[in-house]
Amino acid sequence: MKRVLLKISYDGTAYHGWQIQPNAITVQEVIGDALFKILGEKTNVTGCSRTDAGVHAKEFYLHFDCDEKLPADAFLRGLTALLPSDISVTEYKEVDPDFHARYSAKAKVYQYTILNSRIRNPFLSRYSWQIGRPLNVERMNDFLSRLIGLHDFEAFSSSGRTVKDTVREIYECFAEEKDNIIKITVKGNGFLYNMVRIIVGTAVDVSDGKIEPWDAEKILLSKDRNLAGKTAPPEGLSLEKVIY
């Protein structure tokens, strides 16, 4: 028995997120089915993150255990042939049996794309949140920079999932603008349910003047989801990098 780590990439448009659920197609299920065909036996697929429906992953890792003897190259080609065109597998690596796609991750980088334009871009509709009114990137950054560090992010998480420990460390958190596209990058050691989408939605509320940049500390300390801003839509979000 060996443990294999796969690096994949997927366009989340057609999927109800990563994690297997009844009556909906998920990336975990599609990968699991393809692995079953190659390995000839069921295996548990463990992902590095539970992305929501519509969220993308430029870089995503998963692990599974198997007795597979195929060379890595042949395995990758076979698996790719079994997967739909919106999922790619780019790396195959044998890892120690105690390596875990989720718990061994030291940091993750998410990126959120806002199309800040009154004019729609059909080719970005699956990959961005379109906002017609002008956004104030400086104000957004004033807010975002206050989230950097070790904080209890309970106020920035949806109640959908309950975890005991809501303290996370954010290493980078900033917005950049170029040609009507605003990209918000958040790098941290872990993320709560909907955390990046609520951070982005709150940053937009800060830009709109509904929340002040210096309210960041107050919201964090309150641990009250109602004090943070709206939840940004999923299609603008992408898991960009996982650091082990």
Catalytic residue among 11, 52, 205, 215: 52
- Establish how many alpha carbons lie within 13 A of residue 60's alpha carbon, considering only the half-sphere containing its beta carbon: 28
Residues from 152 through 191 that contact a second copy (CB under 8 A): none
Among the listed ranges 117-125, 134-142, 146-154, 171-179, the one in contact with a second copy (CB under 8 A) is 117-125
Q: Which of 37/210 has CB closer to a second copy?
A: 37
Between 35 and 192, whose beta carbon lies closer to a second copy?
Answer: 35
- Choose, by CB under 8 A, the member of 3, 10, 61, 242 that binds a second copy: 10
Is 2 in a helix, a strand, or coil? strand
Which one-letter amino acid corresponds to residue 196? V
Q: Is 119 in the site for a second copy (CB under 8 A)?
A: yes
Does 87 sit near a second copy (CB under 8 A)?
Answer: yes
What single string gives the DSSP state of each residue in 47-113?
ES--PPTT-EEEEEEEEEEE---S-HHHHHHHHHHHS-TTEEEEEEEEE-TT--TTTT--EEEEEEE
Has 73 been annotated as catalytic? Answer: no
Q: Centre a 10 Å sphere on the Cβ of residue 88 and count the other Cβ atoms it contains.
A: 15
Instruction: Determine, following the binding rule CB under 8 A, whether residue 88 of this chain makes contact with a second copy.
Output: yes
Least Å distance between CB 29 and a second copy? 17
CA-nearest of 211, 209, 199, 208 to 174 is: 199
Any contact of residue 86 with a second copy (CB under 8 A)? yes
Report the residue number, 165 or 179, with the smaller CB distance to a second copy: 179
Q: Does 239 interact with a second copy (rule: CB under 8 A)?
A: no
